[in-house]
Structure formats: structure tokens, C-alpha cells
Amino acid sequence: MLAHSVQRGGRHPIGYGRGLTPIDYKWKALWPSLLSRIIGALIVLSGLLLFVLEIASLGLLGKIGITPSLYGCAVGIWAGIFIMTAGVLILMIAYMKSVRLWALIAFCATVAATIFAIIDFSIVAARVADLRSAGAFDSIFTDVKSVAGLNGAQLAFGLVAFLLCLAFIGLYVHIYMKIRKYR
């Protein structure tokens, strides 16, 4: 009668928090950690490159004196932030207890990053087309040629970031369907 009950205030005697459910164990067992780490690292790298290339492009545009809205909208900065955030969340999945929860969070962030990547390479493609029609790629002035080259590189890395985000979305859907099939 004087002994304490087995459950004291809902606390578990060993470990922190509650245990994992069987579906969480399936997610942890089937999740391809190495592949998701590679995709996450490449997404962070491409987001960082978008960020840096946009800052360099804006710096050169300020030096030249071009400030129309198409060139000064800083879309690469915002896209880079969202893409890097998605990449960091993907990298965190391997170190979390609940892979299912963190994979879902990373999936949602990657969908947002994919949308920003589409916006980024759409605007940068318009910039590159504008610079191509103006002859900036063949200019004798190095600053103008550098602006064109930076925008071309930003377009390439925007497409790479978009494809990497699609690869992670495909990986998540593949694992989700595989686990759903085994239920």
C-alpha cells in the first residue's frame, strides 16, 4: 500500500519520451540514410551557390548602374535560403529518432524549396534571355560579360537545385509507398 505505482506521472522508467510505433521502426529501417545525406548535401551546396551568385550579380549590377526590377529582385537570395533550409532538414533526418516525422517535415520544406527553385530559374531564365538579346555574352566589357556569366551560372544551379529537390520528393514518395504496401 505504501509502495509507489509503476507509472509515476506518466514517466517511463527507461529513456526519454515514449517509444516508437511499429510504423516508425519501418521508416527507420527502410530509410536510405546515405542517399538522403548525399541529396541533402548537394541541395545545401546548390542553395549556397544560388545565394552567393545572386549577391555577386547584384554587386556587379550596382557597379554598372543597372537596376530594373528584373535584375534587382534578389530572387536567388530567397530561393537560396529556402533551398538551404530544405537541405539542412534532409541532412538532419539521419540523426533523428522519429525518421517518419522528420522526413515529412523535410518533404514539406523541399516542396517549398522546389516552388522557390521554379520561381528562381524562371526569373533568371528571363534575365539570361534579355542579356542574350542585348549581346551581353559577347560584350567587350568584362563587367557586362561577368553579369551575363553569373546569371547563366545561376540558371544552371537553379535547375540543379530543382532536380535535386525533385529527387528527394521522389525518394520520399517511394519510401512512403513501400511502407504503405507492407501495412
Is residue 13 pLDDT above 60, yes or no? no
Residue 164 lies in a domain: yes
pLDDT category of residue 4 using cuts at 50, 70 and 90: very low
Residue 9 lies in a domain: no
CA–CA separation, 85 vs 68, rounded Å? 29
* pLDDT on residue 115: 96
Residue 4 lies in a domain: no
Distances in Å between the Cα of 113 and the Cα atoms of 16, 47, 91, 124 are: 33, 9, 15, 16
Per the CB < 8 A criterion, the answer to whether 40 and 90 are in contact is yes
Note down the domain range covering 171.
31-181
Tally of domains in the chain: 1
Residue 153 lies in a domain: yes
Residue 79 lies in a domain: yes
Residue 8 lies in a domain: no
Q: Name the average pLDDT for the chain.
A: 84
Helix (H) or strand (E) holding 88: helix 75-92
For residue 118, what is its C-alpha cell? 521554379
Span 145-175, pLDDT tens digits? 777 788 889 999 999 999 999 999 999 999 9
Residue 7 lies in a domain: no
Span 107-120, pLDDT tens digits? 999 999 999 999 99
Residue 38 lies in a domain: yes
Considering the entire predicted model, what is its pTM?
0.82
For residue 115, what is its C-alpha cell? 516552388
